[in-house]
Amino acid sequence: MADESLLKEKTPAQLKKEAEKAAKLAKFEEKQKKTEAAKAAAAKNESATAAKKKAKAAKEVVNYIADHPIGAKKNTSRGLPTAYDPKFVEKAWYEWWEAEGMFKPEYNEHAGQEPFVVCIPPPNVTGTLHLGHALATSVEDTVARYQRMLGKKVLYNPGCDHSGIATQIVVEKKLQRERGQSRHDLGREKFLDEVWKYKNEKGHIIYEQFRKMGASTDWDRAVFTMDPKVKRAVNEAFIRMHEKGTIHRANRLVNWSCTLRSAISDIEVEKIEIGGATMLSVPGYDQKIEFGIIESFAYPLVDSDEQIIVATTRLETMLGDVAVCVHPTDQRYTHLIGKKIRHPFISGREMTILADDFVEKDFGTGCVKITPAHDPTDYEVGQRHSLPFITILTDEGLITEGCGQFSGMKRFEARGKLAEELTKLGLYHGKKDNPMAVPICTRSKDIVEPKLKSQWFVKCDEMAKKAVEAVESGALKLMPNFHVATWNRWLENIRDWCISRQLWWGHRIPAYFVQFTKEAGKANGDNSDNEYWVSAGTEQEARAKAAKKFNVKEEHIILEWDEDVLDTWFSSGMWPFVVMGWPEKTSDMSKYFPGHFMNTGHDIIFFWIARMVFMSQELTGQLPFNDVFFHAMIRDCHGRKMSKSLGNVIDPMNVIQGIDLAGLNAELEKGNLDAKEIVIAKAGQVADYPNGIPECGTDALRFGLMAYTGQGRDINLDVSRVQSYRYFCNKMWQAVKFSMMHLGENFKPIELSELKIGDNVADKYIISKLAFAVRKVNESFESYKFDQVTTAIYNFWLYDLCDFYLEAIKPTMWDGTDGEKEGIRQILYWCIFTGLQLIAPLMPFISEELWQRLPKVESEKAASIHVSKYPLAEKYQFEDEKAESLIAKVFVVITATRSLRAECKTIGKSKADLFVAVDDQDKTKELAGFEKLIGTLCSAEKVVIGKEGPSDYTFAPTTDEKIKVGLDLTKPYFEQRDTEVRAIHLCEAPGAFILAFNYFLGNSELSKDGSYKWFMNTLKQASNSTALGDDFGIIESFPERMMYGADGTGNLLNFDEAYIKKIAEGGKFDIVTADGSFDCTDDPANQEMTVYPLIAKEVEVAMGLLKDNVLNSTINCLINPCLSYKKYCKLASHCIINNCRSSGCYAIYYDKNWMEINPTYCNSKKNQTPLQGYQIPRKMLNTHKTVIFPKVPLNSFYYQDISLTKPGTCNKDLMNHGEIIQLCYTECHLDKDCSGHYKCCNNGCGKLCTNKYVKEPRNYLNVPVVVTKPNIRKQS
């Protein structure tokens, strides 16, 4: 019998419901058809794109082969290569500039009479230029070229410094390495011959590097600080200052290097901070020496059983003690003041206990031993109390005669022996840690000793006073201005300057010690007595001066020429005027002194800049220059000071030309490092440049360095940033090629004054931005804000011209009227022409290459861009605030639409209909009329501006809350992501975890169709293992899953696009996780315990996101994730922050509980780059969404290390073998009852690492527990 319910007539409500269902079904079927069409279109698109990319794979190689003599003008009649190539661009121009005399102050097509002088800070002759020199050269040459284009007579004077200590050490090492000889084996004269030979070899290289950097110096005026004219000037300066009394001879404490056997300057002393007992290597000692301790011992009183206890960090100096001081009000010792104490090792030496208020009663025992000959403070005490000065060290660092059983010992061997002997006498009272700064000689790596020596000194107090006044009056400007306070602080507390050095290479001091024969009837004086010295250019002059001074006959005079040489900074301090010919009254001296601009690193503000001011005012009565710019110090990308021994010194030529790792290693072999230093340096090169340094070109290097100048006192240089400016060069290159194509061969530019701007807002906007750039660049140049110069130029070329205007004019240039095209051509021409002039001082080669190919107006007569007139604001009165404001509103729509398109992978370059939803009438009116422009810049087929858009469009917000943009993604060009291969990227996951995860993917329903894949990276080298274990086998077993970037590590920021595309389908990842292992290095023993659950949680969430089809997300950890996990251990609820920047987008998650504990700190970090984790490049992600974590069952899968064979241990051996157990994990969390230890399930409290896993883990996957042993070869 039929069911009666089926025979009943349906009610209207039922009929309506069925009709709705039928409509929905039809709509679904239609959507399915569109989806299939989208897939087919996407597949076709992808295949076409792949073919195009393959065709482009072969990179064009371009070489400029000169068909003209060296020095002739480069042939620009040839067409421009397809892409920018620095080798092509930089050929031939410099030789032509130099041959034409463009770098001479006498040359300039529109030169006036006003000079502008820049003196190059002379680099040391000890080697090739490093990036610090490249920065200085970039700054100086940019300023020189800018001033030259302003019409001034620019003299940029080159030169090289002899660098006394540095050069002598380098040549000594070279001789020892190549011949096994010391300088003493050769003798002074032959050794100096070797130094000159070395100088002649290296000086040429340095000058060629200056040329390669584009330095527009007048090479006919090049000066070396040991040139004959400089020697004459140095002698003259010393003689004048000595006879005036500014230079004098005295016996004082100096910084002494026992290895060099010479006094050294303060700049050559580096103070190493140590927190306590530390073993340090010292030249000449086989064993390391202990520093960072303070040792106490007692002096017995004469005629008493009492002792007085003192403490010292340099026990050996007790051999030179002459007194003990106490504070006059210290009641503990007032009864001892004036009493005598006995030295335990020096027979007959009795010392007095003195009262002096320099003693700190509360520090140590309140008693201070006094060694005037070996301590600056003690030296002053010795002078106040007229104490004897006893030197205990020879120049070589041995204990002197007269020190009993310790005489002849090495200083640090004597230190240990003294402790032993004091202990035997019952006088040693032990040692303890003592934080201190150990003075190290930067040249020899020896411990610097304060030592009393007879030396030459310059009185600096009056000169320093004048230097301070010069800055206060504004006659001398120091920039950035924050250096003024440092300048004043140092000069107001200045001491006399020791200028003598016990070397052979340098300016030998023109001073003679005077002694008398018996017939003279005069007593001979002491070598340290200034009275018995005369200064003169020759021995004959000295003899005549001495005879006159002492009123004796010349034949009764005995002269001894000082063996020492002058401090390098003495001759360098004369640089600005000695290069002009001082003391002669030369033409250059009258025309080009004083100078105008000086640039150097802030580390030598006193050693060089202050001394140039001293010497110039003292010898010429004038300041040497008006403006001083102190650039930041270049450090490597890790923030370390560049050092040859670390292997992180970068030769600018290697950045310009590129070099592989083998080439970098070979350069070390050619240098002057010893074998041990070479090994260390090579390791540093492998770590920082595993694939070498990419070719960037001179222009990119100069521009990059100038862009860094606004970063305060230090620059952490990243070569990849310099490389990005090479890409910027290519952007300019393509812009000029595009422009020249549309200008045509017959284009004739009109004068700037005749340029007419019509009603087109895009035209008004670009010419306004050009005018702004001209004004901003000139203002920034005048105030030496070079980073602002680079920003203004970069923004105009890249964003205003390339990204906006060139795109905006394309429809008109293809389909517009002749009149419209001509108007655009004139505007475009002046944008290109002016843009090249603006950038010319910074990028001299590419600007010349492109400028020479442009047609010129009749008034432009300059042979080179570098002698053309620099654009000035008064001639570019085009700024239009209204036009800029309107386009800024349009860009709100354009930016949001481009971002929305980027999220939709398969839309590619296809045009989609765009609806701009505006909930504001005024804004609707402002955007009206810009539909065509928006469509052009957003690749939109049709643009509609209205209030509410179609419901089937996909909308995204803009930065204006009243505006949204929507794209029609229902057309065949859109692909619904459904069953595509999905990839999870695991950052630095431990190898054992990877094995477990791989096992999980092979057994989980989530991945039963094999559509999920994983890739991983490690910050270690490709030849090593993962970050948290010695799992070399992982790399061997899954080579196709391992990711290494250009630096040989898994640092995502060093992955080039081609490599990414090779690794992951389409070059995309759906999920990227970060484990935060580097934030756990403070607790290495428990790192794995912390990181494993963190990774597990991330992957759990990642799999949940994939399962719920929430794709294309980046998961990064913020605020010490490991620390957060260890402290709060609740990762179930998280907060998501979405953040997009030009370089990439990322989502950040962190523990809400942490934020609740410290919300202010967390909120302050929302718009900053994560403290840990990566900012993923945009090219690595498909889309970027704010992700709300789905509700995934807690512990849906986890990893557990097997610890059954060795209970209570981490069992790292099993981990390293890759043995794993089923993917399970036991939650652990902190519990107050456990006093901060982990509480694991119900097993009570246990310390980290011990008892960290239960023996019978809960099985969350409901599959049999199977121990698997992958076929992995253990690393030997």
Distance CA 665, CA 1132 (A): 50
Q: Please state, in angstroms and rounded to a whole number, the distance separating the CA atoms of residues 631 and 686.
A: 29
Residue 1190, pLDDT > 70, answer no
CA distance 222 to 122: 10
φ and ψ at residue 648, rounded to 5 degrees: -110, 10
Mean pLDDT (whole number) for 262-284: 91
Q: Which two tokens stand for residue 694?
A: 């990419």
Give the pLDDT band (50/70/90) at residue 1258. very low
For residue 1016, what pLDDT is reported? 63
User: Is it the case that residue 566 has pLDDT exceeding 60?
Assistant: yes
Q: At what angle do helices 698-707 and 786-795 cross, to 10 degrees?
A: 120
Q: Is it the case that residue 644 has pLDDT exceeding 60? A: yes
Query: Among 611-620, 799-808, 1080-1089, 1134-1143, which stretch is predicted with the lowest mean pLDDT?
Result: 1134-1143
Q: Which residues are CB-contacts of 9 (< 8 A; sequence separation ≥ 6)?
A: none
Give ∠ CA 1270-1274-1276 in degrees, rounded to 5: 170
Which residue, among 760, 774, 858, has the nearest Cα to 816 in the 3D structure? 760
pLDDT confidence band for 575 (50 / 70 / 90): very high
Instruction: Band the pLDDT of 1044: cuts 50, 70, 90.
Output: low
pLDDT value, residue 939: 86
pLDDT value at 1224 more than 80: no
Q: How large is the average pLDDT for residues 379-385?
A: 95
How many CA atoms does the CB half-sphere of 761 hold within 13 Å? 19
Q: Mean pLDDT, to the nearest integer, of 499-505?
A: 95
String of DSSP letters for 1081-1148: TTSGGGHHHHHHHHHHHHHHHHHHHHHTT--SEEEEE-S-HHHHHHHH---SSEEEEEEEETTEEEEE
R_g of the chain computed on alpha carbons: 38
Task: Find out whether the peptide bond into 594 is cis, omega within 30 degrees of 0.
Answer: yes
- What is the rounded CA–CA span in Å between residue 304 and residue 423? 20
Which pLDDT band holds residue 911 (cuts at 50, 70, 90)?
confident
Give the residue-averaged pLDDT of 1058-1062. Answer: 47
pLDDT in tens, 42-52: 455 555 444 44
Coil, strand or helix: which one is 355?
Answer: strand
Ranges of beta strands (E only) in 901-962 are 914-918, 943-946, 954-957
- 91, HSE (Cβ side, Cα atoms, 13 Å): 15
pLDDT confidence of 557, banded at 50, 70, 90?
very high
For Cα atoms 824, 825, 826, give the angle at the middle one, nearest 5 degrees.
90
Instruction: Provide the pLDDT confidence category of residue 647 given band limits of 50, 70 and 90.
Output: low
Would you call 143 helix, strand, or coil by DSSP? Answer: helix
> Between β-strands 963-967 and 954-957, what pairing exists: parallel, antiparallel or unpaired?
antiparallel
Q: What is the pLDDT of residue 1217?
A: 24
| pLDDT tens-digit readout, 589-630 | 999 999 999 999 888 899 899 999 999 999 999 999 999 999
pLDDT digits (tens, 9 = 90+) for 698-712: 999 999 999 998 877
HEC string of 1199-1246?
Answer: CCCCCCCCCCCCCHHHHHHCCECCCCCCCEEECHHHCCCEEECCCCEE
Query: What is 708-879's CATH number, 3.40.50.10190, 1.10.3720.10, 1.10.730.10, 3.30.450.80?
Result: 1.10.730.10
Higher pLDDT, 226 or 991: 226
Overall average pLDDT of the 427-433 stretch: 95
Residue 518 has pLDDT above 80, yes or no: yes
Hey, what CATH class is 263-451 in?
alpha beta
The answer to whether residue 956 scores a pLDDT higher than 70 is yes
Q: How many H helices and E strands in the chain?
A: 40, 43
| Residue 160 binned pLDDT confidence (cut-offs 50, 70, 90) | very high
Which of 1091, 876, 907 has its CA nearest to residue 986?
1091
What does the pLDDT read at residue 815? 81
pLDDT at 1243 over 60: no
Length of the chain: 1276
- pLDDT tens, residue by residue, 70-98: 999 999 988 888 899 999 999 999 999 99
Instruction: Give me the chain's average pLDDT, please.
Output: 78
Nearest 5 degrees, angle CA 749-CA 751-CA 756? 90
Whether 547 has a pLDDT exceeding 60, the answer reads: yes
- What's the whole-number mean pLDDT along residues 1065-1070? 43
Mean pLDDT of 936-951: 90
- Please answer whether residues 732 and 86 qualify as being in contact, where contact means their C-beta atoms are separated by less than 8 angstroms: no
Q: Which residue has the higher pLDDT, 1005 or 592?
A: 592
Tokens 């643009």, located at residue = 943
pLDDT digits (tens, 9 = 90+) for 749-769: 999 999 999 899 999 999 999
Q: Which two tokens stand for residue 1008?
A: 């039963």
What is the pLDDT, as a whole number, of residue 44?
54
Please tell me the predicted confidence (pLDDT) of residue 791.
96
Higher local confidence (pLDDT), 955 or 1089: 955
Q: What is the pLDDT of residue 651?
A: 85
Residue pLDDT, tens place only, 766-794: 999 999 999 999 999 999 999 999 999 99
Position 997 confidence tier, pLDDT thresholds 50, 70, 90: low
Q: Please check whether residue 876 is in contact with residue 770, taking contact to mean a CB–CB distance below 8 angstroms.
A: yes
Do residues 1261 and 1255 make contact, with C-beta atoms less than 8 angstroms apart?
Answer: no
Q: Residue 131: what pLDDT?
A: 86
Query: Exposed, middle or buried: residue 1266 (CB in 10 Å: 0-12, 13-18, 19+)?
Result: exposed
pLDDT for position 634: 84
Residues 82 and 60: their CA atoms lie apart, in Å, by 8
Which stretches within 969-1086 are classed as H helix?
991-1003, 1032-1037, 1057-1063
Choice among 451-465, 870-884, 892-906 with the minimum mean pLDDT: 892-906
pLDDT at residue 539 greater than cutoff 50 = yes
pLDDT at position 183 is: 92
Q: Which two tokens stand for residue 566?
A: 């002058």
Check residue 1119 and give its pLDDT. Answer: 25
Query: Does the pLDDT of residue 986 top 80, yes or no?
Result: no
One-letter amino acid identity for 536?
Answer: A
Using DSSP's 3-state secondary structure scheme, residue 540 falls into helix
pLDDT score of 983: 53
1218 close to 1272: Cβ distance less than 8 angstroms: yes
Say yes or no to pLDDT of 337 above 60.
Answer: yes
Query: Where do the DSSP E strands lie in 1018-1068?
Result: 1042-1043
* pLDDT category of residue 1210 using cuts at 50, 70 and 90: very low
Cβ neighbors of 684 (< 8 A, separation 6 or more) are 646, 647, 648
**% of the chain surpassing 90 pLDDT:** 55
Whether the predicted pLDDT of 1050 surpasses 80: no
Q: What is the pTM of this model?
A: 0.71
Q: What are the backbone angles phi and psi of residue 991, rounded to the nearest 5°?
A: -60, -40
Q: What kind and span of H or E run contains 139?
A: helix 131-149
What separation, in Å, do the N-terminal and C-terminal C-alpha atoms of the chain show? 81
The tokens describing 211, both together, are: 């040329």
pLDDT at 739 over 90: yes
Q: Which residue has the higher pLDDT, 1068 or 365?
A: 365
- The set of residues, in sequence order, having a beta carbon less than 8 Å from that of 251 and lying 6+ positions away, is 389, 452, 453, 454, 455, 528
Q: Confidence class of residue 390 from pLDDT cuts 50, 70 and 90?
A: very high
Domain parsing of the chain, residue ranges: 263-451, 510-561, 708-879, 884-967, 982-1193
Tell me what the mean pLDDT of segment 509-533 comes to: 93
